[in-house]
């Protein structure tokens, strides 16, 4: 990570839970440099990493949420944060440049709050997946797999319980992702089933890329399934 501070700028935020005004860093879109993208959509950056700044944290009350949902907390949700989170919260400011350790703390805090507020499966799934990716950056495979398995379970539940788009994905893309997470967790048979589902989904016609990736990863999974080898 060789990003410098100019890639980031300050955004003023108003907390809908406690009315605090605070500042949080955002990464300039023009400063993002993608190095590569993994088959489960995890992006590796040569620049500062936007994942580190995707969640906003109120320094005063401890409320954490993604930028696009930050303001939309319900009255009941805000009350729960005030009752369950704030009393245990030591005021601390995440408004500066963040490192991976701080990003990890923030994502785990967000996951705790998503559970507390009984959010939809897909809301918890994306947090688990992004925590898995942070562990991937750190080469901590055991922890990565643990969170990937949670993401997988939650996305599979979301697939049957929630309305599409789910986390910005249509049914073909989500089937593909569930297939790929299964493949990475070594569940090759299940993985093949989900890739088939993606390939046969009418929505796949809208995304040639997903269709191509699903076929490629289907073949990889099938090879491993036949050889009964552990995942790469």
What residues make contact with Zn ion under the rule CB under 5 A?
15, 17-18, 20, 58, 60-61, 63
CA–CA distance, 13 with 89 (Å, rounded to integer): 19
Question: Whose Cβ is closer to Zn ion: residue 82's or residue 157's?
Answer: 82
Phi, psi of 37 (to 5 degrees): -130, 130
Q: Nearer to Zn ion by C-beta: 78 or 100? A: 78
Q: From CA 38, how far away is CA 42, in angstroms rounded?
A: 5
Which tokens in the block code for residue 97? 């440049």
**Whole-number minimum distance, CB 114 to Zn ion, in Å?**
17
Q: Is the Cβ–Cβ distance between 173 and 212 less than 8 Å?
A: no
Nearest approach in angstroms of CB 170 to Zn ion is 34
User: Shortest Cβ distance from residue 13 to Zn ion (Å)?
Assistant: 9
Backbone angles phi, psi at 21, to 5 degrees: -105, 130
Q: How far is the CB of 75 from Zn ion (least distance, A)?
A: 14
CB burial class (10 A; 0-12, 13-18, 19+) of residue 31? middle
- Tell me whether residue 52 or residue 63 sits nearer to Zn ion (CB atom): 63
CB of 79 to Zn ion, least distance (A): 13
Q: Provide, rounded to whole angstroms, the least separation between the CB of residue 112 and Zn ion.
A: 16
Task: Give backbone dihedrals phi and psi of 27, rounded to 5 degrees, phi first.
Answer: -95, 130
Report the residue number, 20 or 196, with the smaller CB distance to Zn ion: 20
Which residue lies nearer to Zn ion by CB, 113 or 187? 113
**124-160 b/e (C-beta count within 10 Å ≥ 16 → b):** bbbbbbbbbbbbbbeeeeeebbbbbbbbbbbbbebbe
Nearer to Zn ion, 63 or 188 (CB): 63
């Amino acid at each position: 990570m060789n990003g410098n501070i100019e890639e980031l700028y300050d955004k003023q935020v108003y907390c809908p839970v406690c009315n605090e005004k605070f500042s949080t860093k955002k990464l300039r879109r023009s400063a993002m440099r993608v190095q590569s993208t993994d088959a489960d959509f995890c992006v590796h950056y040569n620049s500062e990493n936007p994942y580190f700044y995707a969640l906003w944290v109120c320094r005063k009350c401890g409320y954490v949420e993604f930028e696009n949902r930050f303001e939309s907390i319900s009255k009941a949700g805000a009350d729960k944060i005030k009752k369950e989170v704030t009393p245990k919260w030591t005021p601390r400011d995440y408004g500066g440049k963040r490192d991976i350790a701080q990003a990890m703390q923030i994502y785990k805090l967000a996951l705790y709050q998503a559970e507390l507020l009984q959010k939809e499966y897909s809301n918890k799934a994306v947090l688990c997946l992004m925590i898995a990716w942070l562990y991937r950056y750190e080469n901590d495979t055991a922890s990565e797999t643990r969170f990937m398995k949670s993401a997988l379970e939650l996305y599979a539940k979301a697939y049957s319980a929630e309305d599409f788009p789910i986390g910005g994905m249509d049914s073909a893309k989500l089937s593909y992702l569930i297939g790929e997470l299964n493949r990475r967790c070594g569940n090759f048979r299940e993985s093949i089933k989900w890739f088939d589902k993606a390939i046969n989904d009418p929505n796949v016609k809208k995304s040639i890329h997903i269709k191509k990736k699903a076929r490629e990863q289907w073949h990889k999974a099938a090879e491993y399934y036949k050889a009964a080898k552990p995942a790469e």
